[in-house]
Amino acid sequence: MPETRHAIELTDVTKVYDGDRHGPGLPPAVRDLSFAVAEGEFFSLLGPSGCGKSTTLRLLAGFEQPTSGRVLLRGADVTDVPPARRDVNMVFQAYALFPHMSVAENVAFGLRVRRVKGAELRSRVAEALRAVRLDGLDERRPAQLSGGQQQRVALARALVNRPAALLLDEPLGALDLKLRKEMQLELKAIQARTETTFIYVTHDQEEALTMSDRIAVMSGGVIQQIAAPRELYERPATEFVAGFIGTSNLVALRIDECVDGRAVMRLGEHGHVVAPAGAGDEPGTVLQVTVRPEKIALAPLADEPDCSSVRATIRDVIYLGSSTELLVELPGGETLTVRRIEHDEVAGHAPGDPVTLYWRARHSYVIAS
Amino acid sequence: MTSTAIPPAVAVVQGGAAKAVRRRHRLLWLMLAPALTYLAVFFLAPLYQIVRFSFGLSHLSTTDAIARIRGEQLGFTWSLWDALLGKGATLRVLGASLDVPLIGLALGLAALLAAALLGPRLRRGGTAVSAAGFVALALPFFTIPAGTTLLRVAQLRSDSQFLDLFFKSVSMAMTTSVFAVLIAFPVAYYLAFVAGPSRYTWLLVVIAPFFTSFFLRIIAWKVILGSSGLVNSGLFSLGVLEQGHPLSFLLYSQFTVIVVLVYAWAPFACMPMFVALEGVDRRVHEAAADLGASRLRILFKVTLPLAAPGLVAGFLFVFIPTIGEFVTPLLVGGTQGFMFGNEISDLFSVAIDWQTGSVLAVFLLAVVVLLTGSTSRFLRGQDL
């Protein structure tokens, strides 16, 4: 691996918090984490709360020491280096700005520690404030700024040090939805402009999909899958990923026949599901099949007559503004979500009505068990 | 007709709301009444009386003739205040000395106080101006008690014996407060940042001495510091001191008063500092560490500035009660440890000169009110 120098590399990192005197040790917060982040990459750690994503970030920052494993920063082992001497900077969830200092002083803090002085100090602070579009607010105190502006100060305070990687701990968590959407795009733009490696922790799958080059989905202290957003969405590696990224339409079915690399699963008189067959698939194998809600059509597909077609019963029709969702029940009792953009398509349907669902074989994604 | 513009239902609601507010106010006053009555009877009335005494408007003698014989004032006069304030003061800095007229002294002290308190409002260098103000204000009064001598950089003396004694008391209270804050800060820091969930247990330990009477705790120091007390007999048995030649300054000196006052008041300094430090967001510390700051830098650039109101409050929590202190000097101070509070006490009870005593008491009260009022910002624990 020495030929490509990664910004960050973790090898087999496990963190176990010591049990205090009131109880025994806890299960590992993170277990056997190994991943590498390239220079300039926007890398997200995504998972529900308690999945170990924040612990991973704190391990990278140096606020926590791994129980085992190594942390490498630009190829150098920093496992035992304290946060103050690690070339990474963190953007905290609640910003953690210095309330007694002006915006400019906040941004200058890291530079002053590094003994940057005079004209260089001023120009770098101004440059950082310009990068986050906060020029002109230098003399304000953090308390005089809005949440979004404080967020930018925190970003500038970290970016000004030109760290090997910027660690962001749910930085948009405290902002309202509209501002969050704006900041997502802006963060991405700042990241591209400054060519800084971002490690971004979030529990919001949409946020991760919008911004990231690659996403590591975490659950229970382990990484479930590391992939680009599109691959993660369309080819979830585990049941957890399928469920966490978007709506999971997960059905367990037995293969009835395999023809031309297609596995066909019949549901009696209610139709059949077609999926691409894997290497070891043969009649009798049980597959976990998932299909994304927006891939399901309510009319036969002209160009793929032998696609999946399943007769089901509508349980609920939910109008969502930009789309409409149907909750349908399969003969086996499983519930599927169908999302259609065109409201006209759905107009005639009401709860209790029978409906036939169609989707392409390649949209039936089989999850490795 | 304007009344027709308001629909009857709305008018009723408004009337009801106004009535409810009035009722709430009446209840509030009713609840405050005992405290206000108490304050009026036991604080304001005596205060009014001693203010009258201090201007010669009242005297203690039953008739004017007796008052004249006893040398009491018989009508409005500034002379009692003139006697207290004197004509001026002398500032000694190291070897040099500078005579300052009274008005100059007052203006100088006011300017330093203003710099200390208003400094933080400046756009630039506010902290430095404020700190310089505090230091300049404290310097003429701060001493390091080293045995029988008091080490000091500067000293303020007055030609009035009363004001001179007041300066001495300020000096003792100032020294006590500084040492109390210095001793209590690490404790408060430990409680706030290190102790974790056991902090409130430790806080209870800090205030444990208050479970016994103040008087007993002072008397205990006699046992420790007396000629044949714990310290001296310890030094005898170690052979450091020759038998029969104890360290005499340990008891009945300014040193003793300061030591005992620091002991008695340090827990009071601890409380506001603990509260202020506990209010400092730990993540701000982490952010500073993340930006590369050393622990010392974090302490001086982040923790101390953010906890500054707590430090000032801790200082005042000790300074304000100790400046008028008279029990401790009475018990362990001897003649050397005599303070302004003792002078007031003596004027009222021994010399029976209530007019002079009143001047001293009103003056002390005015200084304390001025200090509390001008620093209330800090006592409220507001941001700088």
Instruction: Tell me the whole-structure pTM to 2 decimals.
Output: 0.77
Tell which wins on pLDDT, A231 or B7: A231
For the residues A316-326, what does the mean pLDDT come to? 88
pLDDT averages per 10-residue partition of chain B, 384 residues: 51 70 89 93 93 90 85 87 90 88 92 85 77 88 82 88 94 94 94 87 87 88 86 86 81 89 92 91 90 91 88 90 92 88 93 92 93 74 44
Rounded distance between C-alpha atoms, residue A119 and residue A122, angstroms: 5
Mutate to test the interface with B, among A81, A85, A97, A109 (most CBs of B within 10 A): A109
Contacts of B333 (CB under 8 A, 6+ apart): B252, B253, B254, B256, B257, B339, B342
Q: Is A79 exposed, middle or buried (0-12, 13-18, 19+ CB in 10 A)?
A: middle
* CA angle B333–B335–B337, rounded 5-degree value: 40
Residue A25 has pLDDT above 70, yes or no: no
Q: Which of A2-16, A355-369, B149-163, B229-243 has the lowest mean pLDDT?
A: A2-16
Would you state the pLDDT for residue A93?
Answer: 85
Mutate to test the interface with A, among B290, B301, B302 (most CBs of A within 10 A): B290
Complex confidence, ipTM: 0.78
Would you state the pLDDT for residue B251?
Answer: 85
For the residues A182-205, what does the mean pLDDT come to? 90
Tell which wins on pLDDT, B7 or A347: A347
The residue in chain B having the minimum alpha-carbon distance to the alpha carbon of residue A102 is B123
Whether the CB-CB separation of B341 and B40 falls below 8 Å is answered with no
Q: What is the 3-state secondary structure (H, E, C) of B240-265?
A: CCCCCCCCHHHCCCHHHHHHHHHHHH
Rounded distance between C-alpha atoms, residue A352 and residue A316, angstroms: 8
The residue in chain B having the minimum alpha-carbon distance to the alpha carbon of residue A89 is B290
Residue A218 has pLDDT above 50, yes or no: yes
Give B292 to chain A, closest Cα distance, Å: 4
Q: Which chain B residues are within 8 Å of A114, Cβ to Cβ? A: 292
State which H helix or E strand residue B56 sits in: none
Residue A21 has pLDDT above 60, yes or no: no
In sign, the C-alpha dihedral spanning A38, A39, A41, A44 is: positive
Instruction: Mark out the alpha helices in chain A (DSSP H runs).
Output: 53-61, 103-113, 118-131, 147-159, 177-194, 205-211, 229-234, 239-244, 343-347
The residue in chain A having the minimum alpha-carbon distance to the alpha carbon of residue B308 is A100
CB contact under 8 A, A96 and B283: yes
The residue in chain B having the minimum alpha-carbon distance to the alpha carbon of residue A161 is B291
Would you state the pLDDT for residue A278?
Answer: 77
User: By C-alpha distance, which of A209, A323, A309, A324 is closest to A266?
Assistant: A309
Q: Which chain A residues are within 8 Å of B290, Cβ to Cβ? A: 61, 63, 83-84, 88-90
For the residues A303-327, what does the mean pLDDT come to? 88
Q: Does A144 touch chain B (CB under 8 A)?
A: no
Would you state the pLDDT for residue B378?
Answer: 64
* % of chain A exceeding 90 in pLDDT: 32
Whether the CB-CB separation of A355 and A349 falls below 8 Å is answered with yes
B279 CB neighbour count, 10 Å cutoff: 14
Would you state the pLDDT for residue B63?
Answer: 85
Give B125 to chain A, closest Cα distance, Å: 12
What 3-state DSSP class applies to A36?
Answer: strand
A80 CB neighbour count, 10 Å cutoff: 10
Q: Which of A97-106, A245-254, B6-15, B343-352 has the lowest mean pLDDT?
A: B6-15
CB contact under 8 A, A89 and B294: no
Would you state the pLDDT for residue A235?
Answer: 83
Q: Report phi then psi at A328, rounded to 5.
A: -120, 150
CB-CB: which of A83, A94, A143 is closest to B290? A83
Would you state the pLDDT for residue B1?
Answer: 42
CB contact under 8 A, A84 and B294: yes
Q: Does A116 touch chain B (CB under 8 A)?
A: no
If you search the block for the tokens 């029940």, which residue do you land on? A329
Rounded distance between C-alpha atoms, residue B163 and residue B169, angstroms: 10
Rounded distance between C-alpha atoms, residue A5 and residue B322, angstroms: 65
CB contact under 8 A, A96 and B292: no
What 3-state DSSP class applies to A309?
Answer: strand
Residue A99 has pLDDT above 60, yes or no: yes
Residue A54 has pLDDT above 50, yes or no: yes
CB contact under 8 A, A99 and B306: yes
For the residues A2-8, what does the mean pLDDT come to? 70
Going by their DSSP bridges, the two strands A214-219 and A42-46 should be labelled as: parallel
What 3-state DSSP class applies to A303?
Answer: coil
Rounded distance between C-alpha atoms, residue A327 and residue A330, angstroms: 10
CB contact under 8 A, B281 and A96: yes
